[in-house]
Structure 1
């Protein structure tokens, strides 16, 4: 069996952990920073959304450039701008300057993460793609769990400036780690046209989008819902992260043996069940039961969907495929938070989580109707060619 745990794979996986930890330190702290500057809720929303929109707009171009010129230049360039952006928060003195910085930060986030995720998928042997995706996705999920806690901890005992500097330092470590990794991808010489659009992966983008609409609702509104039922939301995310970290590598190995479809369909069903349980929860037991189900369901579905996206794309278009995958997730999270916010404003959290379950049901139906048969056909063709 081909090696998965090479030096380069380990360096890139740990590098992603440091980069994502740095990024997620801002999630709970930046709104507080904006409010302290005199900003209102609308400006908080605009500032948080500016990065997402900038990232979504820039990713497809990055994907095309990666396939044309290689991964390393954009990985290093993106990380350098990301480090500079993170450090420049120290000098922000007004909302307008902050908006401009968030747009720059979003461009660097799109460039660095798309390049790093594409480079690491290049390193994963084809027969162990699901397992490899599971492991490096786990590093990002772990960062999502510890990043906010580190950011809040530094802010509470020191200052925003110290927090921004520490986040910049983590990004420097990410850059140093990735410099030691070997990039197996070699750009095709003589190819002049840069292709940003990869139509082969379009069928899977819609299921990914609807799955992440629900994820946007979970990350945004579970803390508010937990406070309403007088439960600590940190326990939900801790149990969710632990369950997800345990289930992802197992699901990855299973998808390598049985195919991604055999993992994705039951995983989406379990995600729907988790959201239904959450919509009826009134106590800690219900919240934690939902966290376990959601960790297994979402934790198994996400890397398998990324693996199937890469399998559907040509080998020389993996950068564009990764960019489209990340664009679908960013759009889902951003629009999910906005649309589900309107649902919660006019109804209740119970209805919000029920609507989230419907969104994942739509993802399941779209996957079954438009992706399942096509992916199996691709699998048969690749098997015959081997």
Structure 2
């Protein structure tokens, strides 16, 4: 009989490894622009590029990593990703120019893209199938908590110690995770010769999983919306003079996600994905509307953080579970990378394109527009996946009753 146990040694190891990967990502993402200004007198746009070029590295790596995870092996790619990530973190100590900083950030992003694609694939393969929604939901908390703790600790270290302490901390945590990964047991992937051939070559299906693309497209919409928060929440807070309050936004976001995750995961598995996805779109849209009125009462920013956790946080884990659920077992790596390619694209291009909107419509108009975009995403979800999921659930209920 197949085990339904979720909290296994392997689940804890891969979740912890993923937490430290994303912890270093968010810690440096929030502080590297300050480093560029302090060390190389970079302009705001040059400093911003030091952050965003990291996302380009992740995207490039994910295009190839998904297929490699399925063909070369999950643990081998995880080891390669960790070694590459550690090496590129050591290179931060040798940076002597802004251009070299860009190069290291690009390589560091590619390294994290490889390692995180491997962890996402491994966790999908060790979670019992009937608990995918719940398991991936808990796993996704590693990213949520990293997004809350990483920037906070990074800025704290920068204010009270030499910036190199940030690099040292990243190396220590990544080294610890790498050592732990040796104790990870990954189920052997049973892949036929025909399936192996299907993964090879330079056709589109060798880099993207077609059955994961519909939900990945929606992830791109949501990533674009979240980029408006990640990139501009501090500028908005400065504009409306609520910086002290806004500094707690991501803490409220993380807590809301943490509290809701046990319920959301079980509902996904027992009641179906639509039961959690449609409310997620509505809650995320409400978060943007609440943000748009924060100029009236600053504490609304914290309320918006709660709604972002309930909406966007729920979407992230549930959409990844859908991508895995819809795809063949031997292409889980490609499904995972396909999902994150679209999500990261939305996060990556968002700041650039949305930055052109702000001078025209202002922050208030930006967040009202993002509420509309989120609702459009919900409608697109209905046509690309929600309708089919509803029909499948109805047919399953009918067949169960017939027995």
2:279 corresponding residue in structure 1: 266
1:249 corresponding residue in structure 2: 262
Separation in 1, partners of 2:37, 2:17: 32
Total equivalences in the alignment: 386
Q: Deviations over 1:331-386 (max 9, x none)?
A: 11111122222111333110111121122112101101111123345667889799
5+ residue gaps, structure 2, are 201-205
- For the 8 Å contact 2:217–2:342, the answer to whether it is kept is yes
Separation in 2, partners of 1:107, 1:281: 37
Give 1:1-386 correspondences, 5 Å limit. 2-36=4-38, 37-186=40-189, 188=191, 190=193, 191-192=196-197, 193-194=199-200, 195-231=206-242, 232=244, 233-282=246-295, 283-376=297-390
**Normalising to structure 2: TM-score of the pair?**
0.91
Separation in 2, partners of 1:378, 1:293: 30
- For the 8 Å contact 1:141–1:241, the answer to whether it is kept is yes
Separation in 1, partners of 2:277, 2:223: 14
Q: Deviations over 1:182-222 (max 9, x none)?
A: 01142526434422231112211221111111111111111
- For the 8 Å contact 1:279–1:349, the answer to whether it is kept is yes
Q: Secondary structure of the equivalent of 1:284? A: coil
5+ residue gaps, structure 1, are none
Separation in 1, partners of 2:175, 2:260: 30
2:203 corresponding residue in structure 1: none
1:155, distance to aligned residue in structure 2 (A): 1.9
Q: Secondary structure of the equivalent of 2:299? A: helix
Q: Deviations over 1:16-39 (max 9, x none)?
A: 112211221102210011111121
- Over the aligned positions, Cα root-mean-square deviation in angstroms equals 1.9
1:228, distance to aligned residue in structure 2 (A): 2.1
Separation in 1, partners of 2:221, 2:373: 5
1:57, distance to aligned residue in structure 2 (A): 2.1
Separation in 2, partners of 1:32, 1:71: 36
Separation in 2, partners of 1:197, 1:166: 35
- For the 8 Å contact 1:247–1:299, the answer to whether it is kept is no
1:274, distance to aligned residue in structure 2 (A): 1.2
- For the 8 Å contact 1:34–1:44, the answer to whether it is kept is yes
